Structure 1
Amino acid sequence: MNPLVREQILTIIASIPEGRVTSYGRIAKMTDGATARMVARALRDLPSGHELPWFRVVTSSRKLADHSGADEQRRRLIDEGIAFDVRGRISVERFWP
């Protein structure tokens, strides 16, 4: 991945406000050429112990992606006041920007 695009992705993720979420696709659209899959890869490649709010990135269907950290992601989002409906979706009002 182009280092400039990776830096753009990480900067955008760092900017997601507490109590809000955004999607892989929305992040991709804010960059110079990333795709939603590239955003997912950048998140997957983060070193352990990083401080980025990775848990605030969800799918365009407003659900959590199926990955090993999904339980922790759900817990952290709930701790920030984000609720899930019976289908596991987050309210569109919680999306940023």
Structure 2
Amino acid sequence: MPRAEVLEQIYTIVAQIPEGRVTTYGRVAGMTDAATARMVGSAMRHLPSGHGLPWHRVINASRRVTEHTGAVRQHEKLRAEGIVFDARGRVPEDLLWP
């Protein structure tokens, strides 16, 4: 797990992702002082219960939902916000934030 300061930065950034938009693990990492994309992924996997963060809006660099135990739920949550996926499972580039 990343250090507490870096975790706080990650959580603050993820909290700002607007509904109907997505960003990548790498973009989140780039907005922090020291996180890597893997650290962001780890932070999303280990969110405390009841957190309320829009974790589902963080996707991989190929603009796809990463395969994991919550992938189906993530797809559902994104579709409910109006996110569309192309035939290859990618989110359109114009929906990337920021």
TM-score normalized by the length of structure 1: 0.97
Residue correspondence of structure 1 range 1-97 to structure 2 within 5 A: 1-97=2-98
Q: CA deviation at 1:63?
A: 0.2
Q: CA deviation at 1:47?
A: 1.6
Q: Which runs of 5+ in 2 are unaligned?
A: none
The one-letter code matched in structure 2 to 1:2 is R
Distance in 2 separating the partners of 1:74 and 1:49: 20
Alignment size in residue pairs: 97
Say which is worse superposed, 22-31 or 42-51, in terms of deviation: 42-51
SS of the residue aligned with 2:84? Answer: coil
Distance in 2 separating the partners of 1:48 and 1:67: 18
Distance in 2 separating the partners of 1:49 and 1:75: 19
Say which is worse superposed, 44-53 or 62-71, in terms of deviation: 44-53
Q: CA deviation at 1:49?
A: 2.4
Q: Which runs of 5+ in 1 are unaligned?
A: none
The one-letter code matched in structure 2 to 1:70 is A
Say which is worse superposed, 33-42 or 46-55, in terms of deviation: 46-55
Distance in 1 separating the partners of 2:47 and 2:3: 15
TM-score normalized by the length of structure 2: 0.96
Q: Deviations over 1:22-56 (max 9, x none)?
A: 00000000000100000001111112222000000
